[in-house]
Amino acid sequence: MPVLGRNVVGTMRKKQQRQKLKAAPFPSHWSSILEDHFPLYAWLPDEDRKELQGLIQVFLAEKRFEGCGGLEITEEMKVYIAAQACLLLLHRETDCYPSLRSILVYSSTYSVRTTRHLGAGVMEERQESRLGEAWDIKCVFSPSPADLCYNAFDCVVIDEGVKMKGEETLVGRGVRSMTPRFRLVLTATPVKNRLPDIFRLAWWAVGGKAEATPIFPYRDESAERDRFAATFMVTERNLTQEEEAKAEGKKVGRRFRKFTAEVCNVHRLWKLFGPIILRRRKQDTGIDIVPKIRRVIRCEMGTLQKKVYECHLRADYRDVNGRPAIGAQLAPGPAHCRRRSVQRSSGRPAG
């Protein structure tokens, strides 16, 4: 079924389920709970009270409640919290808190450690007592343009962060356009071997500012990535090809230069990355990496596949300069070798 079709069917099914919940009789003991603990309930007109009852039944069916600090969740707590939340939805053509999945309930106030940036590289940490708060949480494996444009999250965690390195890719530009208050990028990219790839990850993680800042002195420009790489990596130049290009009257550009995997200034690089990277090695996690199991299954080629394969084996590939393109050629594979051995065993020529 196409993706659009699945979305339409899912929306219709969800709508039908909600209509059944709203049409179901409202439990009498729930009404008693609201009358005893939710004074506003008794003052509502009959139509509003009926609408609120339907919304409460939908809310309780779709949301999950969790007690914190050893608190045991009771039915009375659920009904009371649902009534408070659904009161805000009366007379509104809106969804029932679509991004809300779980409600964490504390017995009293709770403390959280907060960090605030005061500027000039100064961070302030303190404990705050809170009665409640809300987080908009959404887990996306393959973000759509709508997800990337939804810039209303307080915290964004990016897994496989190397996918956001591209300067012009949809995911790269989309993620970097988000401006959450808290950011975390997870990646297993080797810093030493692929240093330029981490430029955009670090730039966004520290705030993604248009101009250079003390914590990350690079602007939001593609050219800054090259300047970053040139600062910390060793560059190799192919002088022979440069001279040949000059002799042929060709333009000598950056194609004869490349960055190596060697970092020329490790200490300076660590001063830049030290404050923003949380590095965890294998011995820090205490969990062995799952072994990679590779099983090769060789299948016999079909008649047409063999002809195409042999055509590529005999082909004389050339690059744009007329030189042999060795990388494009195929090596003799198992099927080709098996065919030759079968011919020898049958007594026919092996040509």
Residue ranges per domain, the chain? 3-107, 145-285, 303-345
Q: Is residue 312 classed exposed, middle or buried when 0-12, 13-18 and 19+ CB atoms within 10 A define those classes?
A: exposed
pLDDT in the model for residue 57: 92
96-130 pLDDT, tens digit per residue, is 887 778 888 877 776 777 776 666 667 777 777 76
pLDDT band of 131, cuts 50, 70, 90:
low
The CATH architecture to which 3-107 belongs is Orthogonal Bundle (1.10)
Name the one residue in this structure whose structure tokens are 């496989």: 160
d(CA 327, CA 330) in angstroms, rounded, equals 8
Over residues 276-301, mean pLDDT = 74
pTM of the model: 0.44
**Residue 190 to residue 228: CA distance in whole angstroms:** 16
Confidence of residue 162 (pLDDT cuts 50, 70, 90): confident
Phi-psi region of 318 (alpha: psi -120 to 50; beta: other; left: phi over 0): beta
Question: Mean pLDDT, to the nearest integer, of 154-167?
Answer: 79
Least confident of 10-19, 24-33, 139-148, 215-224: 139-148
Helix H or strand E encompassing 185: strand 182-185
**Residue range 221-237: average pLDDT?**
81
